[in-house]
């Protein structure tokens, strides 16, 4: 009895071989930025995220140059795997920020609505490779196989067996040195850090535009190159 599956979500990951060499310097840079950022605005049960505390430009900070280069390389590989012609597009890191998760902190579910591609890099993870420090959870909002809406919900719990055809989330164990690349529109969150240690990660938001040249004027669904924009009030 064959059952075909179609339209997969593509999540890319790579364990970076040089991670341990950069670990300590990245930890120190993140903690210094956290200290210098705004007064904490996060709820106590939520991880500290740089984008809410004035620390969202680590892509321009030389202390993060190694990881930024890795993000660029692997994002290109991800998009090549998706079949894109990278000669016709430009890629930009729009913003990038650290996340520091302490004991019993999590990151609520969200999408990165201003970007196209997002990446996360795990600098430091207590009990790396287990679920103790909090998993990255991707949520399926499309539910293609949920033949009657709400079948697996708390109110209509008639799923006899959860399997790959009805799963509504995919979990990635936090793993030190791992880079994950995914579509920004995919809703996700991070589960609780049950350890006493700090889980430190870096988030990147990437935007894709038409490359200058012929493609910039002929593709309806690509943002034109920012170099061709006009800011109000400027001539
Ligand atoms: Fe996120």
Query: Do 224 and 209 contact (CB within 8 A), yes or no?
Result: yes
Count Cα neighbours of 70 within 13 Å in the Cβ-side half-sphere.
Answer: 25
Cβ atoms within 10 Å, residue 121: 28
Between CA 226 and CA 223 the distance in angstroms is 8
Q: How much distance in Å is there from the Cα of 2 to the middle of ligand 1? A: 36
Q: How much distance in Å is there from the Cα of 189 to the middle of ligand 1? A: 6
Give buried/exposed letters for 74-99 (b at 16+ CB in 10 A, else e). bbeebbeeeeeeeeebbbbbbbbbbb
Cβ atoms within 10 Å, residue 131: 14
Q: How much distance in Å is there from the Cα of 203 to the middle of ligand 1? A: 7
Which pLDDT belongs to residue 37?
Answer: 84
Q: How much distance in Å is there from the Cα of 134 to the middle of ligand 1? A: 13
48 bridge partner residues: 100
- Domains in the chain (CATH in brackets) are 12-143+153-228 (2.60.120.620)
Count Cα neighbours of 62 within 13 Å in the Cβ-side half-sphere.
Answer: 0
Q: How much distance in Å is there from the Cα of 231 to the middle of ligand 1? A: 29
Query: Do 178 and 105 contact (CB within 8 A), yes or no?
Result: no
Q: How much distance in Å is there from the Cα of 217 to the middle of ligand 1? A: 32
Q: How much distance in Å is there from the Cα of 113 to the middle of ligand 1? A: 10
Query: Do 98 and 34 contact (CB within 8 A), yes or no?
Result: yes
Task: State whether residue 87 is helix, strand or coil.
Answer: helix
Q: How much distance in Å is there from the Cα of 78 to the middle of ligand 1? A: 18
Between CA 123 and CA 178 the distance in angstroms is 8
Tokens of residue 123, six digits: 């600098």
Q: How much distance in Å is there from the Cα of 188 to the middle of ligand 1? A: 6
Q: How much distance in Å is there from the Cα of 85 to the middle of ligand 1? A: 26
Across 86-145, where does the E strand assignment appear?
Answer: 89-101, 107-110, 117-124, 136-139
Q: How much distance in Å is there from the Cα of 164 to the middle of ligand 1? A: 24
Q: How much distance in Å is there from the Cα of 158 to the middle of ligand 1? A: 31
Which pLDDT belongs to residue 154?
Answer: 84
Q: How much distance in Å is there from the Cα of 110 to the middle of ligand 1? A: 6
Which pLDDT belongs to residue 15?
Answer: 98
pLDDT tens sequence for the chain (235 residues):
999 999 999 999 999 999 999 999 999 999 999 999 888 877 889 999 998 899 899 999 999 999 999 999 999 999 999 999 999 999 999 999 999 999 999 999 999 999 999 999 999 999 999 999 999 999 999 999 999 988 888 888 899 999 999 999 999 999 999 999 999 999 999 999 999 999 999 999 999 999 988 777 778 889 999 999 999 999 8
120 bridge partner residues: 180, 203
């Amino acid at each position: 009895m064959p059952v075909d599956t179609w339209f997969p979500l593509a999540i890319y990951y790579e364990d970076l071989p040089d991670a341990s060499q950069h670990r300590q310097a990245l930890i120190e840079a993140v903690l210094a930025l956290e200290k210098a950022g705004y007064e904490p605005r996060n709820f106590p049960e939520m991880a500290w995220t740089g984008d809410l505390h004035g620390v969202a430009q680590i892509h321009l900070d030389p202390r993060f140059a190694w990881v930024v280069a890795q993000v660029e390389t692997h994002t290109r590989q991800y998009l090549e795997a998706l079949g894109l012609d990278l000669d016709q597009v430009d890629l930009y890191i729009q913003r990038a920020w650290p996340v520091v998760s302490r004991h019993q902190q999590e990151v609520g579910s969200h999408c990165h609505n201003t970007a196209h591609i997002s990446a996360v890099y795990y600098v430091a993870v207590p009990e790396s490779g287990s679920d103790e420090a909090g998993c990255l959870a991707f949520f399926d909002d499309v539910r293609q196989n949920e033949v009657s809406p709400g079948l697996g919900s708390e109110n209509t719990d008639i799923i006899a067996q959860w399997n790959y055809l009805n799963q509504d989330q995919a979990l990635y164990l936090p793993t030190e040195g791992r880079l994950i690349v995914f579509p920004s529109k995919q809703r996700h969150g991070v589960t609780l850090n049950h350890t006493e240690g700090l889980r430190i990660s870096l988030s990147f938001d990437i935007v894709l535009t038409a490359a200058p040249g012929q493609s910039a004027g002929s593709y309806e669904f690509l943002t034109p190159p920012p170099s061709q924009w006009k800011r109000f009030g400027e001539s």
